[in-house]
Structures are given as C-alpha cells and as structure tokens.
Amino acid sequence: MINKKNIFPIIILLEPQLEENIGAVARAMLNFNFKNLRIIKNKWKPKKITFNNAAKADEILKKAKVFNNLEDAIKDLQYVYATSNRKRDLSTEVVNLKKGIKIINNNKTSKVGILFGPERSGLKNEDISLCDKIIEIPLNKNFKSLNLAQSVLLVVYELFNSNHSMVNLIKEKKIRKKELFIFYSVLEHFLEEKNFFQIKKKKKKMMLNIKTIFSKANLIDKEIRILLGVIRSLSKKN
C-alpha cells in the first residue's frame, strides 16, 4: 500500500536539454504518484512547450525545485542513486534496476533521490562520485538508446509496482549529503596540510576516488562525527 504522505524518492534532472523531455518526465511522474521533482539548471522556468508535453501534470512543474549545482540539490538527502548505462572508471557499485528498486525500498530513510543526467552526454564521473550507487536499466546490448522521459518512466513504474512499502522506519539516521560535503571539505583541507597530494595534477582524481569510497560506506551521524574527531585530533600540533 502506498503511503499517503507521498514519500517516494525525489526525481532529480541534471541539466536537461529539451523542454519536451522535462514535460514528459512530469507526466510520467504523476502517473505513478511521484510528485517531487528537482531540476539542476540555472534560472530554469517551465515554458509553454513544457506544459504541453506534461499533459496536465502542471503541478509537478510548478512545484519543481530549481538549483544551480548538484551539491545544493542533494545536500539534504541521505541516499542518492545515479542512473547510467555507461562503463565507468569508478569503484561505485553498479546494480541492475530490479536490485536497485529493492535497495531503495529497503533504505531506512525517506530522503532518497534518483539522479538522471543530460540527454546527450549523461552523468559525469564527478557527479556519480557524489552518489551511493549506480542503477543500470537493462537494455539491448547492441542498442542502448532511451530518452530522458523513458528512463524516468521505467524507474518510477518499477518503484510504484514494487511490493515493498515506501515507508521507512529509521533506526540509525544516515547522514544527509550536506554533512558528507562538509566532511569532504575538512578532509581535503587536512590532506592538503599534510602534503598528501604530492602530485598536484592528480589531486582531482584522488579526491574523486576518496569521495567514492565514503559514498559507498553509508555513514551514519555517529560515524561521521567520529571521523571528524579523528581528523581534528591528527591536525593538532604537538
């Protein structure tokens, strides 16, 4: 049974290119009772063509939250899942859609986001490094070509029809992404002080890998406080 408070995951679109697709995403969402849409696109506002393609799912577009960057869009969330069908040079776990649905339904939090990349290029590794897992939609290996709205439709359909309740009882509170970003900033500053990044041109790649490690760890509040305490202790001068 679906919870009346509508705690389905938040659908997040990163730099969508076509207004037609944004409208079609809203239409797909409302068909399956998903009402929370976030769009990462500077100063985005729905246009007439967006509403036309939404087929009366206007409320989704009107209430969509708009952000300028990914970090701001997900900082209040506790789990974020990237969608991608491209091979990555990352250690982020890749799961198929069926397993991804089970993982989402088993999360002990209602603060969940599902991230979809731009139509043309998809998500960058830097974007995925901020996510907990990659969800891969199984497709014909010789023809992998879903548009944005189709991808969203498949995911929300599977979630809507899954037999698990979307109500999550929180036993141990997983940190919001905002706390994780603060930790990354503190850690990076500490590593700079200790001259960890001896080859400066490799710093970006090294930090990306470090972020991926901690994203996979599913840290809770207590654990992040312990890690910050360790860093502060190591930072003290003798």
205-220 per-position pLDDT tens digit: 889 888 888 888 878 8
User: What is the rounded CA–CA span in Å between residue 2 and residue 218?
Assistant: 26
Is the pLDDT assigned to residue 169 strictly greater than 60? Answer: no
**What average pLDDT score do residues 200-204 get?**
86
Is the pLDDT assigned to residue 238 strictly greater than 80? Answer: no
Single-letter amino acid code for the residue at 186: V
Instruction: Please tell me whether residues 22 and 79 are part of one structural domain.
Output: yes
Instruction: Please tell me whether residues 14 and 114 are part of one structural domain.
Output: yes
Residue 16 falls inside a structural domain:
yes
> What pLDDT score was predicted for residue 112?
93
Instruction: Please tell me whether residues 84 and 138 are part of one structural domain.
Output: yes
The set of residues, in sequence order, having a beta carbon less than 8 Å from that of 58 and lying 6+ positions away, is: 26, 51
Residue 133 falls inside a structural domain:
yes
- 184 token code pair: 């990354």
Residue 1 exposed, middle or buried by CB count within 10 Å (0-12, 13-18, 19+): exposed
Instruction: Please tell me whether residues 116 and 212 are part of one structural domain.
Output: no
Instruction: Please tell me whether residues 189 and 154 are part of one structural domain.
Output: no
| C-alpha closest to that of 61 among 50, 69, 76, 70 | 50
Domain-terminating residue out of 133, 161, 189:
161
Percent of the chain with pLDDT over 90: 46
Residue 3 falls inside a structural domain:
no
Across 47-56, 66-75, 90-99, least confident range: 90-99
Residue 129 falls inside a structural domain:
yes
Q: What is the DSSP string of 76-142?
A: T-SEEEEE--S--SS-S-EEEHHHHHHHHHH-S-S-EEEEE--TTT---HHHHTTSSEEEE----TT
pTM of the predicted structure, to 2 decimals? 0.72
> What pLDDT score was predicted for residue 171?
45
Instruction: Please tell me whether residues 135 and 63 are part of one structural domain.
Output: yes
User: What is the rounded CA–CA span in Å between residue 27 and residue 64?
Assistant: 13
Instruction: Please tell me whether residues 29 and 140 are part of one structural domain.
Output: yes
The set of residues, in sequence order, having a beta carbon less than 8 Å from that of 86 and lying 6+ positions away, is: 122
Instruction: Please tell me whether residues 216 and 112 are part of one structural domain.
Output: no
Is the pLDDT assigned to residue 124 strictly greater than 70? Answer: yes
Residue 143: domain span: 10-161
- 124 token code pair: 């960058």
Query: Residue 157's domain is classified under what CATH number?
Result: 3.40.1280.10
| Residue 161: pLDDT band with limits 50, 70, 90 | confident
Domain-terminating residue out of 161, 195, 223:
161
Instruction: Please tell me whether residues 99 and 211 are part of one structural domain.
Output: no
Residue 2 falls inside a structural domain:
no
Residue 167 falls inside a structural domain:
no
**What average pLDDT score do residues 134-157 get?**
89
> What pLDDT score was predicted for residue 165?
44
If one compares 182 and 13, the residue with the highest pLDDT of the two is 13
Mean pLDDT for the chain overall = 86
Instruction: Please tell me whether residues 79 and 144 are part of one structural domain.
Output: yes
Residue 136 falls inside a structural domain:
yes
Contact by Cβ (8 Å): 57, 93: no
Q: Write the pLDDT tens digit of every residue in 24-56.
A: 999 999 999 999 999 999 999 999 999 999 998
**What average pLDDT score do residues 105-134 get?**
87
Instruction: Please tell me whether residues 64 and 152 are part of one structural domain.
Output: yes
Instruction: Please tell me whether residues 48 and 139 are part of one structural domain.
Output: yes
> What pLDDT score was predicted for residue 81?
96
Total number of domains constituting the chain? 2
Is the pLDDT assigned to residue 4 strictly greater than 60? Answer: no
User: What is the rounded CA–CA span in Å between residue 208 and residue 185?
Assistant: 12
**What average pLDDT score do residues 111-116 get?**
94
Is the pLDDT assigned to residue 167 strictly greater than 70? Answer: no
Domain-terminating residue out of 131, 161, 191:
161
Residue 74 falls inside a structural domain:
yes
> What pLDDT score was predicted for residue 166?
44
